[in-house]
Structure formats: structure tokens, C-alpha cells
Amino acid sequence: MSETIIRLENIGVAFNAQLRVGSPRFWALEDVSLELARGERLGVVGRNGSGKSTLLRTIAGIITPDRGRLKRAPVSCQLLSLALGFMPHLSGRDNAVLSGLMLGLRRREIMQRLPAILEFSELGDFFDQPISSYSTGMTMRLGFSVAMQVEPDVLLIDEVLSVGDAEFQQKSGDALRERIHSGTTVVFVSHGDAQIHKVCDRAVWIEQGRSMMQGPVDAVLAAYHAAPPISPPPTGP
């Protein structure tokens, strides 16, 4: 068994439901426990609103749990975010630098990778035009190309496995699959059984903010589909 790099023990995360004095808090995660080992590819399954995205952002360190224990080895965790911090009036090139800096790259590193970003995004002369002149697909191509330059120890993916038009979907999907299978530790949230099967070697099932089961992909998916949906719990204090 390889080294555990992230361990969640009975984690709970509460949000403010409304900007009102005394408004009740809503527990997006009630009680989640899981372990992530180095090099592992963990799939997260669950229905809409079960807390999968909150779980990813908790693992990323963006959200601090309100209860439970979270232990993380000194590893970098990055949510795969496209077009992070993009500003419409700036050129594709400037946005690539800005987004790269926000994702934790040094400026020197981004400068070295600009040719690769330009090539992968297939933007050509548009690279030096303001992205407000881009189509949605072009912005996504740029966003994806920048995001792929970051190489965190743990890559966190929320549904997105490919972006853009059919051709770029193939290309971006291939690039991401290559990254996933290159030994990076991955946590992958998805609704698609087929994708979880293809990508992950273990899975965890989240239902109403609770971790119901974790283990081999087949067993977890079978249990998940066999269970009737649980009605939402009342919002606690």
C-alpha cells in the first residue's frame, strides 16, 4: 500500500445559506471520511447536491472544514479550473500569464511555456487579441491550455474532462487522460459511470454529505445504483 497523502476523518462543512442575521447554516458535507494514497485515482460519485464539489474544494484546501479532521502531507493540490482570473480586455497572451500566476506558476515558467500554450490552444494570431473578441470555444481552448501547464501533486477534476468543439474535445481529452495516467494523484468527480470506470482505480460514494462507501469502482457503483435516493435532511443549526 502506498503512502496516504490526504486523510479526511468525519469532515463536516457548513455554509451560510443567506446573508441574514441568524440565518441557519446549511451542512453541505455532514460526515465524510476518506483516504487518498499517492498515485491513486479516486472517483467520487453521488447525486446532484450531494456535496461532491464541496468535497473537492475541501481537499484542495480552499474550504476549511467546520468539524472533523483533515490531514494533508505537504503536497500541492489544484482544482482543474479553466479561464481562472481571465480579464476580457486583455490579450490571450496576457491572460495566459495572469491565469498561470494565479494557478501558482512562476512568471519565468509561464514565459517558457507560452509557445506550448499558443500551439496547443490553436489560437494563432488571436493569441495577441483581447479575449473579449474570442468565441466561448476559443476562451475554453486557451483556459484548458493554461490549466494543463500546472503540474500539481494532486489534480482535482470536477466533471470537465474535455472542452471545446468536437475536434478539440478529442485533443483536450487525450491530453488530460495522458496526464491522469502519468502517475499523478487524481480525484475525479463525475456523473458518468463509464468515465469513472475508465479513469479511476477506486471510488467513493457521497450521499447527502455523507460518505456511504469507498472501495473498488465496480462495487461502489453497484451499491450506489442499487440504493434509493435519500430524502434531503432538514437544515441544522
Partner 1 sequence: MRLHLVELILFSTYAELRAERARSYLGLLWWIVEPAMNMGVYYLVFAVIFRIGGQDYIPFLLIGLTLWQWFKSCISHGGYSIWQQLPLIRQVKLPLQVFPSVQILADTVKFLCILAILLVALWSTGYPPNVAYVALLPVLLVELIFVSACTYVVAAVVPLVPDLRFVIEQVLQVIMFLSGIVFSLDGLPPALRRWFELNPIVELVDAGRGILMRGEWPDWFALGRVGLISLALYVFGSLLITRLTPRYVKLPT
Is the CB of residue 50 less than 8 Å from the CB of residue 209? yes
Residue (122 or 159) nearer to partner 1, CB: 159
Which range touches partner 1 (CB under 8 A), out of 33-41, 75-83, 174-182, 186-194? 75-83
Per-residue binding letters, 129-158, with partner 1 (x by CB under 8 A) = -x----------------------------
Which listed residue (98, 114, 175, 223) binds partner 1 by CB under 8 A?
A: 98
Spatial separation of the C-alpha atoms in residues 72 and 59, rounded to whole Å? 9
Distance, CA of 65 to chain centre: 18
Q: 46: burial class by Cβ within 10 Å (0-12, 13-18, 19+)?
A: buried
Rule CB under 8 A: say whether 85 interacts with partner 1. Answer: yes
Rule CB under 8 A: say whether 57 interacts with partner 1. Answer: yes
Query: What's at 210, amino acid-wise?
Result: R
Give Dmax (Cα) for the chain.
55
Rule CB under 8 A: say whether 111 interacts with partner 1. Answer: no
Spatial separation of the C-alpha atoms in residues 137 and 144, rounded to whole Å? 10
Rule CB under 8 A: say whether 87 interacts with partner 1. Answer: yes
Which listed residue (41, 45, 59, 81) binds partner 1 by CB under 8 A?
A: 81
Spatial separation of the C-alpha atoms in residues 124 and 194, rounded to whole Å? 35
Q: Least distance (Å) from partner 1 to the CB of residue 46?
A: 19
Binding residues for partner 1, total number by CB under 8 A:
33
Rule CB under 8 A: say whether 186 interacts with partner 1. Answer: no
Distance, CA of 151 to chain centre: 13
Rule CB under 8 A: say whether 69 interacts with partner 1. Answer: no
Spatial separation of the C-alpha atoms in residues 233 and 215, rounded to whole Å? 25
At 104, list the grid cell: 501558482
Rule CB under 8 A: say whether 72 interacts with partner 1. Answer: no
Which listed residue (3, 89, 125, 229) binds partner 1 by CB under 8 A?
A: 89
Q: 131: burial class by Cβ within 10 Å (0-12, 13-18, 19+)?
A: buried
Which listed residue (49, 69, 104, 181) binds partner 1 by CB under 8 A?
A: 104
Rule CB under 8 A: say whether 107 interacts with partner 1. Answer: yes
Spatial separation of the C-alpha atoms in residues 34 and 43, rounded to whole Å? 12
Interacting residues with partner 1 (CB under 8 A): 13-19, 57, 60-64, 78-79, 81, 84-85, 87-90, 94, 97-98, 101-107, 130
